[in-house]
């Protein structure tokens, strides 16, 4: 159990998977105990990369057994978040920097039947998510500047996780607290001891020779942050 009262979850990011064999790659990490499957949606505007959209999320929904954790790195989530809800996303997380009306967007996601999440870039202060904490099921702290897998973890993210955890405690709310970017066996215990309960890992899992073993190893390393 994490310090937030939630079980520790590992959400492999398929951004670093082999896109020609997505179903097999996902089955492998699900068999290895992945709790969620993290899907990175990039539109080439909010971030300098372009990945997948609603048709692929819809296709993934047919083969994925675990919840689909969809991270929207898009310019206009107020308009497009519902596409991903309709495609079958279980969690839809939007960037606070990209939304003019974040409260309205997260409520629309919930009304559509998915769990809403909010996320913030490394350069955005924790205070930016304060007002929506009571409205979301998930807060995602970006520990790299979004756009690519395999980047180095930004150390100041640890303090931000602790700050958001403290805000949640003070407000009496318990969203999951997820960290995304540069998570491996060294960084996982740092963010878990700061209050994270959900870890995204792309390169450290799919870039490993044995992704199933790497996933289990990250879970063991993360658990060390709980003591
Ligand atoms: C970055 C994405 C991440 C990315 C993480 O923009 O949001 O989910 O896949 O990859 P690693 O674990 O390789 O940093
Ligand atoms: Zn992500």
Question: Does some domain include residue 63?
Answer: yes
Which residue's CA lies nearest to atom 2 of ligand 1? 146
Please answer whether residues 87 and 54 qualify as being in contact, where contact means their C-beta atoms are separated by less than 8 angstroms: yes
Residue 148 DSSP label: -
Question: Does some domain include residue 207?
Answer: yes
Question: Does some domain include residue 215?
Answer: yes
Cα-to-centroid distance, 203 and ligand 1 (Å): 7
Question: Does some domain include residue 51?
Answer: yes
Q: Which atom of ligand 1 is nearest to the CA of 202?
A: 12
Residue 43 DSSP label: B
Range(s) of the domain holding residue 120: 9-224
Question: Does some domain include residue 4?
Answer: no
Ligand 1 mutation pick, 151, 183, 204, max ligand atoms within 8 A of CB: 151
Q: Which atom of ligand 1 is nearest to the CA of 207?
A: 13
The residues pairing with 10 across neighbouring beta strands, listed in sequence order, are 199
Ligand closest in space to the Cα of 70? 2
pLDDT at 3 (0 to 100): 59
Residues acting as catalytic residues: 40, 180
What's the domain count of the chain? 1
**Residues sharing a CB contact under 8 Å with residue 28, sequence separation 6 or more, in sequence order:** 211, 212
Please answer whether residues 42 and 15 qualify as being in contact, where contact means their C-beta atoms are separated by less than 8 angstroms: no
* CA-to-CA dists, residue 142 to 153, 161, 173, angstroms: 9, 10, 20
Question: Does some domain include residue 97?
Answer: yes
pLDDT at 226 (0 to 100): 87
Question: Does some domain include residue 104?
Answer: yes
CATH number of the domain where residue 204 is located: 3.20.20.70
CA end-to-end distance (rounded Å), the chain? 10
Give, for all 227 residues of the chain, the pLDDT tens digit: 565 689 999 999 999 999 999 999 999 999 999 999 999 999 999 999 999 999 999 999 999 999 999 999 999 999 999 999 999 999 999 999 999 999 999 999 999 999 999 999 999 999 999 999 999 999 999 999 999 999 999 999 999 999 999 999 999 999 999 999 999 999 999 999 999 999 999 999 999 999 999 999 999 999 998 87
Question: Does some domain include residue 1?
Answer: no
Ligand 1 mutation pick, 180, 191, 218, max ligand atoms within 8 A of CB: 180
Burial (CB < 10 A; 0-12, 13-18, 19+), residue 34, is buried
Q: Residues with beta carbon inside 6 Å of ligand 1?
A: 13, 15-16, 38, 40, 71, 144, 146-151, 180-183, 200-204
Which residue's CA lies nearest to atom 9 of ligand 1? 149
Q: Which atom of ligand 1 is nearest to the CA of 147?
A: 6
């Amino acid at each position: 159990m994490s310090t937030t009262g939630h079980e520790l979850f590992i959400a492999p990011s398929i951004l670093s998977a082999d896109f020609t064999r997505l179903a097999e790659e996902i089955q492998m990490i699900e068999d290895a105990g992945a709790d969620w499957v993290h899907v990175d949606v990039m539109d080439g505007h909010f971030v300098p990369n372009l990945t997948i959209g609603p048709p692929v999320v819809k296709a993934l929904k047919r083969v994925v057994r675990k919840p689909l954790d969809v991270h929207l790195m898009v310019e206009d989530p107020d308009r497009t978040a519902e596409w991903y809800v309709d495609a079958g996303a279980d969690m839809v997380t939007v960037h606070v920097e990209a939304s003019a009306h974040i409260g309205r967007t997260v409520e629309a996601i919930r009304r559509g039947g998915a769990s809403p999440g909010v996320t913030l870039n490394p350069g955005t202060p924790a205070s930016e998510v304060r007002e929506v904490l009571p409205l979301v099921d998930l807060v995602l702290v970006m520990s790299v500047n979004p756009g690519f897998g395999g980047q180095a973890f930004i150390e100041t993210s640890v303090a931000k996780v602790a700050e958001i955890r403290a805000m949640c405690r003070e407000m009496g709310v318990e969203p999951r607290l997820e960290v995304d970017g540069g998570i491996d066996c060294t960084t996982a215990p740092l963010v878990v001891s700061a209050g994270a309960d959900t870890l995204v890992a792309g390169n450290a899992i799919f870039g490993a020779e044995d992704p199933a073993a790497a996933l289990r190893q990250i879970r063991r390393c993360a658990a060390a942050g709980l003591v």
